[in-house]
Amino acid sequence: MLIRGGRVVDVAGDRVADVRTGPDGRVAAVEPHLDQHPGEEVVDASGLLVVPGGVDAHTHLNLPVGAVRVSDDFATGTAAAAVGGTTTVVDYVTAYRGEDPLAALATWQRWAEPAAIDVGLHMTFTEAVPESAVVDCIERGVTSFKLYMAYPETLQVDDGVILGVMQAAGRHGGLVTLHAENGSAIELLRHQALDAGRSAVIEHSRTRPAILEGEAVNRAAALAEVAGVPVYIVHVSSAPALAAIRTAQERGIDVVAETCPQYLHLSEASLSGPGGENFVCTPPLRDPWHQEELWEGLAQGTIHTVATDHCPFTVTDRRAGTRGRPEGFADFTEIPGGLPGIETRLALVWEGVVDRRITVADWVRLCAEAPARTFGLWPAKGSLQVGADADVVVWDPAAEQRLAAAALHMRTDHSPYAGRVARGWPRLVLARGRAVARDGVFCGQAGWGRYLPRSPRPGAVG
């Protein structure tokens, strides 16, 4: 395919050029005025942007959550991702307590087989593990590890476990990612709320104050400093967390930070209205002023990536809650947390370009280049250099796309952005050279996606 005359933006710069994809599914040339080869499809991209396919480094597809399940599986979720311009996802495997991490990995790899785009996997440990578990994962291309500082009953590990996994990962080129909230303090606040008869949806955010996110980021950075390793903070939602990241970075600690579109566009007020349960995610949505701070953090480079934490539910499942009650959840602690977003990420970050908060180059870096580099996928993913995978988005900045659930492809009947119209949408999306979406219609194929073994970080002992 020859994509002609677009404004090509990637790490190599911002220029008008033609992009040729080869029969091997890789980028074959990026130059001005390429001649058409016989039989080659030509796409006119004049007036459009041509950028690397998006890399969403934080998704939860097909995940069971108590009595309910995330409503997108790998087939539907990756198809929706493709329509919105994302061509790689990195999903979180969870090894629950007592479970063999490699068995959990095998389960996720089987779930991921019908993916329409390429899939990498992170590993979540929920208890102390021997160093060999870290090595086993890295040998299988799972080079990043998640630990939770929250959810004491099921997922949380203590600071000693975090430090130990950081040290082990550091020795073998792995990266630790952290859900940073002070889970033990939050647990007390939740019990106190229930004991006082405060059970409404809004209590979800009131019992998870932003300062307890900031505190956990501080602690995470201190542990990373002691271990002498970088650390990646997932879904940064608040100004205190951002301030803690900035402080740590100024101290020379390599803190890599991620935020999500919901924290840039939505606020806590949504939890108070009817259907407020459909806005429950963790960390919770905050007061609107945090959004301004997060956009600043993106523009200044304090926050490096935007991922989705895609974790959708149907309205019915949300009402039934994690206990699966036909009469509806009993209180806020039973609401499954997570929002849809895998399809709308590029568009919602692009809003920042339209509003002049960030540049086009920032948008490409945040949505594709930085996540690819951070998670060992560079330069096959996240760039358009010759030889990279031909994951290409032809972006139409003049397109308008409704963000109502019915206008999107994610398998959920609730959109947190219903009523909004995105100002920009992909015209064409290629995954390894194959068209997977055209004009907002999925045209890929389940199973086209491959499992992506990822590289360890350079400099590790191996």
Stretch that binds Zn ion, among 101-109, 147-155, 304-312, 352-360 (CB under 5 A): 304-312
Task: From residue 324, give the alpha-carbon distance in Å to each of 241, 271, 297, 406.
Answer: 33, 21, 39, 25
Using the rule CB under 5 A, give the single segment among 95-103, 203-211, 284-292, 303-311 that binds Zn ion.
Answer: 303-311
Pick the stretch among 116-124, 188-196, 281-289, 305-313 that binds Zn ion (CB under 5 A): 305-313
The answer to whether 304 and 258 are in contact (CB under 8 A) is yes
Question: What is the closest distance, in whole angstroms, from the C-beta atom of residue 141 to Zn ion in the complex?
Answer: 20
**Torsions phi, psi for 451 (to 5 deg):** -70, 135
Site string for Zn ion, 252-291 (x = CB under 5 A): ----------------------------------------
Nearer to Zn ion, 410 or 429 (CB): 410
Q: Report the nearest approach of Zn ion to the CB of residue 226 (Å).
A: 25
List the structure tokens of 374.
Answer: 């951070």
Minimum Å distance from CB 177 to Zn ion? 9
| CB closer to Zn ion out of 262 and 383 | 262
CB of 40 to Zn ion, least distance (A): 41
**Between residues 178 and 201, which has the closer beta carbon with respect to Zn ion?**
178
Nearest approach in angstroms of CB 61 to Zn ion is 11
CA 46 vs CA 6, 112, 399, 428: distances in Å: 5, 36, 14, 13
Which C-beta is closer to Zn ion: that of 80 or that of 364? 80
Stretch binding Zn ion (CB under 5 A), from 11-19, 302-310, 403-411, 441-449: 302-310
In whole angstroms, the minimum distance from the beta carbon of 235 to Zn ion comes to 6
Q: What amino acid occupies position 311? A: C
CA distances from 23 to 27, 174, 272 (A): 9, 33, 53
Shortest Cβ distance from residue 168 to Zn ion (Å)? 22
Question: Between 181 and 309, whose beta carbon lies closer to Zn ion?
Answer: 309
User: Residue with CB nearest Zn ion?
Assistant: 309
Nearer to Zn ion, 309 or 362 (CB): 309
Q: Which stretch binds Zn ion (CB under 5 A): 70-78, 307-315, 326-334, 439-447?
A: 307-315
- Tell me how many residues contact Zn ion (CB under 5 A): 1
Helices (runs of H) and strands (runs of E) counted in the chain: 14, 19
Buried b / exposed e over 387-398, threshold 16 CB at 10 Å, is: ebbbbbbbbbee
Residue ranges in 353-392 that form contacts with Zn ion under rule CB under 5 A: none
Q: Which amino acid is at 249?
A: Q
Residue number with CB closer to Zn ion (309 or 334): 309
Shortest Cβ 220–Zn ion spacing (Å): 16
Task: Decide whether 309 or 343 has the Cβ nearer to Zn ion.
Answer: 309
Task: Name the residue nearer to Zn ion (CB basis): 309 or 351.
Answer: 309
Given the rule CB under 5 A, which of 291-299, 306-314, 398-406, 430-438 is the region that contacts Zn ion? 306-314
10 DSSP β-pair partners = 13
Task: Give the nearest distance from C-beta 338 to Zn ion in angstroms.
Answer: 7
Report which secondary-structure segment, H or E, holds 346. Answer: helix 345-354
301: left (phi over 0), alpha (psi -120 to 50) or beta: left
Nearest to 62 by CA among 20, 8, 104: 104
Which residue, 5 or 120, is less far from Zn ion as judged by CB? 120
428 pairs with which residues across the strands? 394, 438
In angstroms, rounded to a whole number, what is the distance separating the alpha carbons of residues 371 and 55? 6
Name, in order, each residue with C-beta under 8 angstroms of 18's C-beta and a sequence gap of 6 or more.
2, 3, 4, 5, 6, 29, 30, 31, 32, 33, 34
Q: Which stretch binds Zn ion (CB under 5 A): 186-194, 301-309, 326-334, 380-388?
A: 301-309
Local structure of 408: helix, strand or coil: coil
C-alpha span between 80 and 206 (Å, rounded):
32
Based on the shown chain and the rule CB under 5 A, indicate whether residue 118 belongs to the binding site for Zn ion: no
Residue 122 Cβ vs Zn ion, minimum distance, rounded to whole Å? 10
First CA to last CA across the chain, in angstroms? 40
177/218 with CB nearer Zn ion: 177
Pairing of strands 231-233, 434-438: unpaired
Which of 56, 91, 203, 309 is close enough to bind Zn ion by CB under 5 A?
Answer: 309
Nearer to Zn ion, 234 or 388 (CB): 234
- Spatial neighbors of 401 by CB under 8 A, at least 6 apart, are 347, 407, 421, 422, 424, 425, 440
Q: Cβ of residue 282: shortest distance to Zn ion, in angstroms?
A: 8
- Pairing label, strands 305-306, 49-52: unpaired
| Residues of this chain that bind Zn ion (CB under 5 A) | 309
